[in-house]
Structure 1
Amino acid sequence: MLISILPSLLRLAPWAAVAAALLFCAVPLAAQPMGAPPGMAGGLATAVGVITMETQQVPFATTVPGRAVAYEQVDIRPRVGGIVSEIVYPPGRPVAVGDVLFRIEDRTYRAEVAAAKAEVALAEASVSTAQDTLARYEKLVGIGVTAEELATARVSLLQAEADLSAAEAALQVAELDLDRTEIKSPIAGFPEVPTVSVGALVTENQTDALTTITRIDAGSLRVGAGVDIRLELETGEAYAGQGKMVSPGASVSTTTGTTEIRLQFDNPERRILPGQFLRVDIVLGTTEAILVPQGATARAASGELTAFVAVDGKAEQRILTEQGSYQNAWIVTEGIAAGEALIVDGLLNLGDGAAVATVPVTISADGVVTETAPAATMDGG
C-alpha cells in the first residue's frame, strides 16, 4: 500500500548545516617546536602543517534556518477558454522556460484558423481584381472611362487592400489563440500541484490559477539523477524504504517559516500511520565548492572569515566567502582555489607575510591533524 506523508514542519536549508558541527582540533605536529629546515638562515621560518585544497561535490539538503522569498513566482492562467485535454508536467519536477504545462482542446481554434486563412485568400483575390481594374481604367481614361470611374477604381483598390490587412490581422489572432491552447511556463522553476484535472472547463483570464510556478535559485546546484529521501520514524528508527517526491515545496509560510512538501513511501507493513510524527532527510543534489576545516579559520572583528595559505614560503591571509557549513568544514566559494596549500597547523601567532616551512598533513574525521611526511623544506606555493 502506498501512502503519502505531508511533513508540514520541514525547514529548507541550502547547505544541510549541521546544528552541532564537529569542533576542529588543530593538534601540534610535534611536542617540540620545529626548527628551520636546512638552508633557512637564522631559524626564522615557522613550521606549519598544510593540506592541499580540492573542489568537492557538497550535498544540498532541505534544512535551513531563516526565511526566504521567491526570486520569481507566477500564477498560470489560461488566455483562451475551453476544456483541459492534458496536464503535461509531472508533479515534483522542475520545468524550464517554454515547457508545456497544460493543453486545451483545440479543434475549435483550428477551425477558426482555417476560416481566417480563407478570408485572407478571398481578400487577396479582391485586391488582385481591383489592381487589374485600376490598371485597365488608367489605360482607357478619356476614351471610354471617365475620371470619376477611375477615381472609383482607385478607392475600390484601397478598400480591397484594407480588407486584406484586416483579414491578415484576424488570421494572426486566430493563430495566437491556437498557440495559447498550449499553456507554457514563462519561467524556470517548480510548479505546484495543478488545481484542475483533465476535462475541466477553463475560461480566458479566469480568477483561479491553474498552478503556480516558483523559481528558487540555488547558485551552482547540480540536481542529482534522483532525489535521496530518507525517513526516520518517531521512535528514532530509520525506515528502510526509499521515498519519492510527489510535490516539492515552492514557498515558505511567512508566519510559521515552514514549507509543505508531499512525499510518498511504500508502506507494506503499515508502520506509517496518518498523523504520525516523522523526520525526513532530503538531499536534492550537489554543489561544487571547497571544504575548508573550521579549525583552520578565524573570524575578524568585522565578521569576515579568514584563513592562511602558504604561498612561495610565506603565509598569506585570505578572506573567504562561505555559504554555510558541512560537517566540520566551511563551504567556501571564493578566497581560495583548488591546488593551494591551506595552513591548518602552527597557526598560533602566525601573521600575514610570515616565513613558513610547510609540512604535509592529513585530518581525520574527528579533526585530528597527523603529519604525513618528515618535516622538510617544501615550496610553500
Structure 2
Amino acid sequence: MGYSSPETRCNRGSVRRLARCGGAPIGILLALTLAGCEEKAQSQAAPPPPPVTVAQPVKRTVTDWDEFTGRFEAIQEVDVRARVGGFVNSVEFKDGAIVRAGDLLYTIDPRPFEAVALQAEGQLADARGKGELAKRDLERSLNLVQTSSAVTEQAVDQRRQALQAARAAETQAKGALKAAQLNVEFSHVVAPIAGRVSRHLVTPGNLVQGSEGGATLLTSIVSLDPIYIYFDVDEATYQRNSRLWSEGLRRSSRDTSNPVQVTLTGETKPSHEGEMDFLDNRLDASTATLRSRAIIPNKDLSILPGQFGRVRIIGSSPYEALLIPDTAVATDQSRKIVFVVKEDNTVEARPVVLGPLDEGLRVIREGLKAEDRVIVDGLQRARVGAKVTPQMAKSPAGDKASAGDKPTAGAKP
C-alpha cells in the first residue's frame, strides 16, 4: 500500500464529503478544501513569541572607584644582627612566632664582657680616689697661701691642674665602664620591635661577629598590624583626580585620608578597609605612574608582607546612575549593546556606554532610560526585530530596587 501524507488524506476525505452533497463543481470544492487544510496546517506550525525576562534599570546614587594592583609591605622591618662578637649560648624564640618589643631572642656568652666591665669598675674607683686626693691637696694649698707664704702660686696652679686631670680620668673611666656594661647588655639580643619573627639563622655554639667586623645576621622581624599596601596610579587617573580636586568634586589624598578597600587574592569582594597614607612627589619616568600607599588595619594578622591585593580608591563624587546586571551586556564587535523590548514587544539592540561595576551591577553611562525594559534572561532566544513575550523579573535588575523606587543613599563612603 502506498504512503499518503496527512494533507492528502485530508483532501481526499473532504472531496468525498462534498461530492456526496452534490451541486458544487469538483474544481471549486477541491480548491476550497486545499485552502482550508493549508490554513489549518499553518496555524498549527506557527509558534508563539519566545519568553524572555526583562527588568528596568536600577536608579541609585553611586560613587566610582578606581582599582589598582598593590603589594603589602611591613610598616617596620628589622634585620636582627649581633652587636657584639662571641659564641651563641642559646636561641630563646620559636621560629615564626609573634614577639613583643624587648623579648629575648639570643644569648651570646657574656663572660668576656662582664670581665671587662669589672675591670672598668676598678679603673673608675681608682680615678675617683685620685680625684679626691687632688682635691684635698688643692684645698690645703689654698689655705697655706692665705696664712703664710710656704706655698707658691705656681704650686697652687699645679695642684689645680692635677685635680682637673683626675676628674678627666674619672670621666674616661665612667665611659669605659658604660661601654663595658653595654657590651654585657648586647650579649642578650632582644627584639627591637613587635611583630612576627623569622627563623633563627644561627644555632648555639656558633661564633658570631659584632658590629665592628660585619655583624652576623641572626633573624628578622616584620610588624603586621597595621600594614602598608603600595600601588602605582597611572598618569591618566592622576590627571583626572587632580582635575576633580581643582573643581571641588573630590578630596585629594595628599591632605585627606581617603578611604580605600582591599580585595585579597582569591576573594570576590573587598574584605579589608583602610585609608590613604602617602603619595609620592613625582611620577616614575619609566612607567608614568605615581607610587601611592595606603595603611590597612590587620587585627587578625592574616595579611603578610609580600602579598598582592586589589586596591579600590574613590574616583568621583557621588552621582545618580542607572545600573543593570552585567550579564545583560553583550558585545557587538567593538561596541557594547543591550537588548531592549519596545512597546510592541519587539527586540531592539541598544548601544551603551559602560561604567564600573557597583555591588554586582554595571553602571550604564549612556544609552538607556529608566523606563526601558532590558532583557536580563533569555538573550539566546531574542532576535533583533522579532517579537518576544516579556516577563518582568521578580526582583528588578538582579534583586535591587527598580527605577521607580526612591534612590538609595551613596553606595560607598
Q: Same fold (TM over 0.5)?
A: no
TM-score normalised by the chain length of structure 2: 0.42
TM-score normalised by the chain length of structure 1: 0.45
Larger Rg over CA atoms: 2
